[in-house]
A and B are shown apart, each in its own frame.
Chain A
Amino acid sequence: MIVFVMIRVAPGDPALAILGDNASQEALDAFRDRMGLNDSMLVQFGRFLSDLAQGSLGTSMVSGKPVVTSVMEVLPYTLELALGAIFFGIIIGLPLGIISALWRNGWFDYFLRVVSLLGLSFPAFLTAILLILWLSIEWRIFPVISSPTGGPIDRIYNLILPAFSLGVIMVAYIMRTARSAMLDVLGEDYIRTARAKGAPVRRLILHHALRNALIPIVTVVGLYFGLLIGNAVLTEIIFNRPGLGKLIVLSLNQRDYTTLQGLMVISAFLIVIVNLLTDICYALVDPRVKLK
């Protein structure tokens, strides 16, 4: 409902924006009629709700395509990017966080803490621009424009740079969480017991400590998914990738209210799904958590 009201109170006439200033009065009237813009707010809201209940988000005011279709067309690209970022976050952030916790207050720990603070302060566009400059323009390892087309290998190859650039912030968050979670767990009695019983260090860390440190890490991944989707918008613009980001910018420029409305509903829906997945992950990670 918030979405609906916010978008309707916007200044600017969508009919005028879409048909242009030179459109005749008849054309404007016909357009408003077709889109139902002449009906009262209440009628429009009712239509929005009944459409929503039927799994439809209406049709775009500009292209006439169903909103769900146009969002679903680009959603996989954004998801692919976000998952890639989480992947980098985990494979880089987790080991570094564990090392940091094991060598607590050593010079390497101190160094990593500064690096992680730097990582989470890096604005998404700066990371992307620097990576393009070094890896694409200077060394020509990766393409400047990341097009998600071609075979699976090309597609993954093209994904590496944008996913890493988006993943920098995830690396920082996961590293910090892994460090503090490991520190918490390493102080527990059962770790001392395991150590006293002569458990090998590797087994101690991977089996006893890490398993219990995973819950906060899963939480952080779920929690920052929304942030990741937001940052993905910027990454997509810089790398010129299709995705939610480009669709948002396009709809903004065209004042395509229905698409905007649908995008917002779908992004909220995504967050809800991710929260659900996070809860399911808890149960996988921690046998004490039972799914009802």
Chain B
Amino acid sequence: MTLTDTNAPKRTKMASLLRLARKNKLSAFGLLMFTLIVLASVFAPFISPHSPLDQNIVERLQDRSAEFILGTDTFGRDTFTRILYGLRVSLLIGLTSTFIAMVLGCSLGIIAGYRGGWIDSLIMRVMDMLLAFPTLITGLFIVAVLGANVVNIVLAITVTILPKFARVARAPTISLKEREFVEAARALGYSDIRIMAVHIAPNILGEVVVLASLWAAYAIRVEAYLSFIGLGVAPPTPTLGTMIRDGFNHILDAPFVSIYPGFAVLFVVLSLNLVGDGLRDAIDPKLRD
């Protein structure tokens, strides 16, 4: 009997997850789509026989064919292969920057909410200042000023979405710190850092994860926007934004060159939005309908 009791919470958690997946088919579909995209980009060399960089001028601007599934670009490079490699850049930058923004933003938000006073004011005023600038334009300036490389692009996207995490983490912290279990932890003499990390952080994780999946979708889009404007990872590394911009020059004679990478961006963003939307419904019953 004791054994079943200790196992009970774990099982219900799994069961509720499964029930969720069955109930929310769209989310499950989004997760499947995202997993497939990640796998395809990771195993790109095994999926496509072409190289993303080999030029072949004779075969330039070809439409779909058995050899080039999604046609070729201005230099005769295989579009499908370049999309797979471009997705690597998008996913790497999008997910890394969201993760850093999540960890940093939540830490700042929890510290602000927990400590209150001037620390709270200082942190939140800086966050407000960052929020005052349009996100894409801020990202654009950071990259333009510091130079376009992976680190700076990650930095730019992190800075633009950091305040959103700080805000979401701060509000529940303020009410959580008054709860009995936090008071108990304080009475036991635990340090502030331990209370914040062990007692408060897990309680706001749900909301934060939902937010993270939605902002990851945004981050991936911003990366594509930046490289579209010409502030992306430098060529010859294929990025989706650069491919779209290059293809746009051939919009009249070969529109497919820019459209396929455009749809690649759409599918990644859509899959993450589907997941985030479903998670939000699951975690916040108020929003479920």
Contacts and interface: CB of A to CB of B under 8 A. Distances in A.
A126 B265 contact: yes
A118 B270 contact: yes
B217 interface: yes
Contacts of A46: none
Interface string B122-145: 000000011011111110111011
Interface residues of B, number: 43
Contacts of B224: 123, 125
A238 interface: yes
Name the prevailing secondary structure of the A interface residues.
helix
A198 interface: no
Nearest to A130: B259
A271 B132 contact: yes
A53 interface: no
Name the prevailing secondary structure of the B interface residues.
helix
B289 A126 contact: no
Nearest to A231: B136
- Categorize the interface residue count of chain A: 35 or more
Contacts of B228: 125, 234, 237
B68 interface: no
A11 B147 contact: yes
A117 interface: yes
B252 A137 contact: yes
Given A123-B265, A268-B132, A271-B133, 12 more contacts: A9-B145, A10-B146, A123-B269, A125-B224, A126-B259, A129-B259, A132-B251, A226-B134, A237-B229, A252-B229, A252-B230, A267-B134
Interface of A: 2-3, 6-7, 9-11, 104-105, 114, 117-118, 120-126, 129-130, 132-133, 137, 180, 183, 226-227, 229-231, 233-234, 237-238, 248-249, 252, 260, 263-264, 267-268, 271-272
Interface of B: 26, 129-130, 132-138, 140-142, 144-147, 217, 221, 224-225, 228-231, 244, 248, 251-252, 255, 258-259, 262-263, 265-266, 269-270, 273-274, 277, 287, 289
